A and B are shown apart, each in its own frame.
Chain A
């Protein structure tokens, strides 16, 4: 009892909203290297290497069938790779069965035991370990309070809502004090609003317990908003590993650029480059934009190289009048609004340029507009963006 109050005092100084689970948990880095796994002719994982630092929130992001869940199952011990190695804290653990790895999983459908109450679900692991009744009782209630399910303890999983089931799954996994928590699309079964709340909740729990979270998702906005690092996967390959910022602002491949967020994407050829500040200013020929554009890049680009030129819709300015400031770094085009899509806080415009190509533009509605958005269907507009806002994709086709 006193311990509980002391603990609560500690947690409130940390400004954490949960009952807390006592001592911080140990964690370790996870490294997978050159993992290959094939199911028949289908290569689910093709020479995949990722290193996950101790204590970070790491996301495996990709469309369904990209191999992210297979990789998670290999880490959990439910699947075995054809080749490659997997280490926890530097030690090879591929031959350990799932029950011997200090890893717990939150399953996509939660996999709560339907024949057991919430209490017995959470107590499952401790009962297997043959802990004393008092210890189990004390610990289960501590975790029940942490996930705020006091009123539902003696219910069966079938009597719970999706969000409650999810919280039972979290408590059931964390009560084992795992070193790493694996989450297999834990929010995909919930509605959008609840998903946002639970995502924030998961992030808070992560901050609180401090262990490594490996989070599998196909939802790029989920991954961007909570992850320390993201590995973007497609067709069994890891295409890029980076912080959410790097993944969004500097996608390495065509797939990453198109999968994360929206973008205007045009094939291009490098014409020339010159140095600009601490970067390079590349001149590229973009037929779809009817000529040459200027774009900044970290590296010099060989003239004649086939690349892709892309710019995010929210970085494109749209106006009914031509951009006044004449600057060679501004790419500017005129066109007609083909399709305005109003969605409250922002509008999306599909602008057909004079040469026939389409540019997507996102405009945030910062000010209140009496008569609706000031740009409407069939309006003649100018779209423009700075050379620093576009980027080049050098790896195409994947």
Chain B
């Protein structure tokens, strides 16, 4: 391929511009990731560092019963919270896209970002704890036993996770729904669809990219959640993130912590790949059977034409 001089200049310059970022990513992302990957195949030594030989024991330990439970719990909490986020943010995004006060509503969604996440979690703790407003109210209504609280269980973890990550789901949905041509919904109604059918058959397929982005943006951070299960969860709420921290700080088992991290990374990578694949598959190719149908019908039309002439 031959480049025109100007093109060459643009391409060369582009590469030079990208070097600082490339170096940054290499030093602070690719190399650490490679180290973690390497560590996960090493053996733990008694001082809490790593030593040879290469082994798969960290991965075997990960799927042992005690850690398997955590892995399974992490998966179901992630799936449940992500689905809840999506179900809540679909109507929210729709309402925002159709609203006249878009800027104000966007502002409301963005406001929590300006507050430290730990502070927001502690805000929930004051709501949910046994002296908290919510518990107090339920207690006085007789719906909750005296002295009991709403915290330290998986329900509280899911609730706070949904609260923490719902903006990440609302924003991509809002932007795709905002671009959606609402006259398509009129067209669907016109062709006999009920309101619900129009949403399911026309709106949802057309905002697929927004939905997959929302799913990825919420699922990945939730899958690696650490602070929320740590602060509002109970003994039975440990998630992968907590295990990793525990292994690094308390048990000093770096290979196991690394193995969990590798699993987290792989899961996120597959998620992103799925999203990209989904975005790229909008083109259609007609199959052989479709081709045959086209030909048959073109023939039929020609037959009609010759009848016309006859």
The answer to the question of A302 belonging to the interface, with a C-beta cut-off of 8 Å to chain B, is: no
Q: Is the CB of B184 within 8 A of A99?
A: no
Looking across the interface, which residue of chain A has its beta carbon closest to that of B182?
Answer: A111
* Chain B: interface size category: 20 to 34
Number of A-B contacts (CB under 8 A): 108
Q: Is the CB of A76 within 8 A of B190?
A: yes
Mark interface residues in B171-186 (1 if CB within 8 Å of A CB, else 0): 0000000000101101
Binds B, one of A3-11, A85-93, A225-233, A354-362: A3-11
Q: Is the CB of A115 within 8 A of B206?
A: yes
The answer to the question of B192 belonging to the interface, with a C-beta cut-off of 8 Å to chain A, is: yes
Mark interface residues in B277-310 (1 if CB within 8 Å of A CB, else 0): 0000011101000100110011011011001100
Interface residues of B in 177-206 (CB under 8 A from A): 181, 183-184, 186-194, 197, 201-202, 205-206
Q: Is the CB of A99 within 8 A of B194?
A: yes
**Contacts A144-B297, A150-B298, A154-B284 known; A99 to B192 CB distance under 8 Å?**
yes
**Contacts A117-B284, A128-B191 known; A151 to B186 CB distance under 8 Å?**
no
Complex CA gap A78/B190 in Å reads 9
Which residues of B have CB within 8 Å of A280? none
Which residues of B have CB within 8 Å of A78? 186, 189-190
> Which of B181, B294, B301, B308 touches A154 (beta carbons < 8 Å)?
B294
Which residues of B have CB within 8 Å of A154? 284, 286, 290, 294
Complex CA gap A64/B126 in Å reads 57
The answer to the question of A12 belonging to the interface, with a C-beta cut-off of 8 Å to chain B, is: yes
User: How far does the Cβ of B282 sit from chain A's closest Cβ, in whole Å?
Assistant: 8
Q: Is the CB of B181 within 8 A of A128?
A: no
User: How far does the Cβ of B202 sit from chain A's closest Cβ, in whole Å?
Assistant: 6
Interface residues of B in 1-53 (CB under 8 A from A): none
Looking across the interface, which residue of chain A has its beta carbon closest to that of B299?
Answer: A150
The answer to the question of A235 belonging to the interface, with a C-beta cut-off of 8 Å to chain B, is: no
Binds B, one of A48-56, A101-109, A194-202: A101-109
User: How far does the Cβ of B182 sit from chain A's closest Cβ, in whole Å?
Assistant: 9
User: How far does the Cβ of A291 sit from chain B's closest Cβ, in whole Å?
Assistant: 55
The answer to the question of A65 belonging to the interface, with a C-beta cut-off of 8 Å to chain B, is: no
Which residues of A have CB within 8 Å of B194? 97, 99
Complex CA gap A99/B286 in Å reads 32
Q: Is the CB of B187 within 8 A of A105?
A: yes
Q: Is the CB of A124 within 8 A of B191?
A: yes
Mark interface residues in A208-233 (1 if CB within 8 Å of B CB, else 0): 00000000000000000000000000
Complex CA gap A156/B192 in Å reads 22
Q: Is the CB of A125 within 8 A of B191?
A: yes
Which residues of A have CB within 8 Å of B286? 154-155
Residue of B192, B197, B293 ringed by the most chain A CB atoms within 10 A: B192
Looking across the interface, which residue of chain A has its beta carbon closest to that of B180?
Answer: A114
Which residues of A have CB within 8 Å of B192? 99, 125, 128-129, 176
Complex CA gap A150/B190 in Å reads 25
Q: Is the CB of A19 within 8 A of B304?
A: yes
Looking across the interface, which residue of chain B has its beta carbon closest to that of A20?
Answer: B304
Q: Is the CB of B297 within 8 A of A111?
A: no
> Which of B193, B205, B300 touches A145 (beta carbons < 8 Å)?
B300
Q: Is the CB of B191 within 8 A of A141?
A: no
Interface residues of A in 63-113 (CB under 8 A from B): 76-78, 97-99, 103-105, 107-109, 111-113
The answer to the question of A153 belonging to the interface, with a C-beta cut-off of 8 Å to chain B, is: yes
Q: Is the CB of B186 within 8 A of A4?
A: no
The answer to the question of A172 belonging to the interface, with a C-beta cut-off of 8 Å to chain B, is: yes
Which residues of A have CB within 8 Å of B193? 99, 124, 128
> Which of A19, A111, A141, A144 touches B186 (beta carbons < 8 Å)?
A111
> Which of B189, B290, B307 touches A5 (beta carbons < 8 Å)?
B307
Q: Is the CB of B183 within 8 A of A172?
A: no
User: How far does the Cβ of A300 sit from chain B's closest Cβ, in whole Å?
Assistant: 50
Looking across the interface, which residue of chain B has its beta carbon closest to that of A76?
Answer: B190
Q: Is the CB of A153 within 8 A of B290?
A: yes
Complex CA gap A128/B290 in Å reads 22
Complex CA gap A62/B294 in Å reads 42
Mark interface residues in A144-186 (1 if CB within 8 Å of B CB, else 0): 1100101101111000000000000000110010000000000
Interface residues of A in 107-139 (CB under 8 A from B): 107-109, 111-117, 124-125, 128-129
**Contacts A111-B187, A113-B184, A128-B191 known; A145 to B297 CB distance under 8 Å?**
yes
Q: Is the CB of B206 within 8 A of A114?
A: yes
Complex CA gap A42/B234 in Å reads 59
Looking across the interface, which residue of chain B has its beta carbon closest to that of A146?
Answer: B301
User: How far does the Cβ of A314 sit from chain B's closest Cβ, in whole Å?
Assistant: 39
Which residues of B have CB within 8 Å of A156? 282-284
Can you identify 12 A-B contacts, CB atoms within 8 angstroms? A5-B303, A8-B303, A12-B307, A12-B308, A76-B190, A77-B189, A98-B189, A109-B181, A113-B206, A124-B191, A145-B297, A176-B192
A97-B189, A156-B282 known; 14 new pairs, CB 8 Å cut-off, are A8-B303, A77-B189, A78-B190, A111-B181, A115-B205, A124-B191, A141-B293, A145-B297, A145-B300, A153-B297, A154-B290, A155-B284, A173-B190, A173-B191
Q: Which residues of B contact A (CB under 8 A)?
A: 181, 183-184, 186-194, 197, 201-202, 205-206, 208, 282-284, 286, 290, 293-294, 297-298, 300-301, 303-304, 307-308
Q: Which residues of A contact B (CB under 8 A)?
A: 4-5, 8-9, 12, 19, 76-78, 97-99, 103-105, 107-109, 111-117, 124-125, 128-129, 141, 144-145, 148, 150-151, 153-156, 172-173, 176
In the A-B complex, the 3 residue pairs with the smallest Cβ-Cβ separation, listed nearest first, are: A111-B187, A125-B191, A8-B304
